[in-house]
Every structure is written in C-alpha cells, then in structure tokens.
Amino acid sequence: MEKLSLAAALDMAARRHERRTGSVVKRDIRDLPKHVPLSLKACLYRFTQEGLVNAFRHAGGQGQEIVACWEEDRIEVSILDRGPGLSRSVAFKENGGQGLIGLRDRVESLGGEFSIDQRPGGGTVLTARLRLSDARSEVATFDA
C-alpha cells in the first residue's frame, strides 16, 4: 500500500470488496493528493473497507458508493448505501458491534472527524474528514 496513491488504495478496497461479495460499488474519487502519509492512507483504506462491509451486511449491498474528495487541506471520504438507514444513536449503543466504534476511534486518533447520518430517501452515510496538515505534522513528530 505504501507505493499506491490514496485514490488507488480506495479503489483497491472497492475492487476487493466487489470480488469478495459479488456486489457493485460506485466510485466518485476525485482530485485526491498524490502523496499522503501512510498513517492517513491506511486509516482511509480501513475506513473504506469496513464501511463497505457494513453497507453490504446491513443494506444488502444496495447503493454502495464511495465518494472521496480533497478541498484545500481537508480530505473527505464517505461510504453511502441505500439500506434501511442507521442513526448515530443506534450505531453506538453499548450492545452494538465494535466496527463503527473502531472506525470512529481510528479516524479521531489522527485528529479527524467521523460522522454517521441517515441518507435522505433511505440509507446511511459514513464520513471521515481528515486534515492533511494534521497527518503530516504527526509524521514529522514521529520522525523527530
């Protein structure tokens, strides 16, 4: 994964998911930076991977989509589906699975924001927002 661009890593997550599940993942991956710290790339790859697993498991694979963009210093990746929808309050119940909690913790550990929302018209949207400068400063701290 080190040698892949972020866009290629997200596409790889989608291709592997499609092969494993036989489902289709729509992709809207645009204008991402070519070089990002490995910690950020790995985080967003795992976010995408786990988000697609959840979309397949809870939405039957309906309307699986990756939307990724980069504006100024912020990278945003969303995983969408057209299932019954999942509210934030239900997603983080104590007796729920650890997948979403793990995703949230992973994103927040890099100074990012994690959100889960119901999609208008049905479905769920998981979103990770990370600042590229935060990830780069973290790498610089570890290099020192």
Q: 114 - beta bridge partners?
A: 128
Q: Which fold has domain 6-143?
A: Heat Shock Protein 90 (3.30.565)
pLDDT in tens, 1-40: 889 999 999 999 999 999 999 999 999 999 899 899 999 9
What are the extents of the domains in the chain?
6-143
Number of helices and strands (H, E) in the chain?
Answer: 5, 5
Angstrom distances, CA of residue 9 to CA of 14, 72, 140: 9, 21, 23
Q: What is the DSSP string of 60-128?
A: TTTT-EEEEEEETTEEEEEEE--SS---HHHHT-TTS-SHHHHHHHHHHHTT-EEEEEEPTTS-EEEEE
pLDDT in tens, 73-102: 999 999 999 988 765 555 555 545 567 888
- Confirm whether pTM is higher than 0.75: yes
- Which residue is listed with tokens 């939307």? 67
Q: Which two tokens stand for residue 133?
A: 């400068």
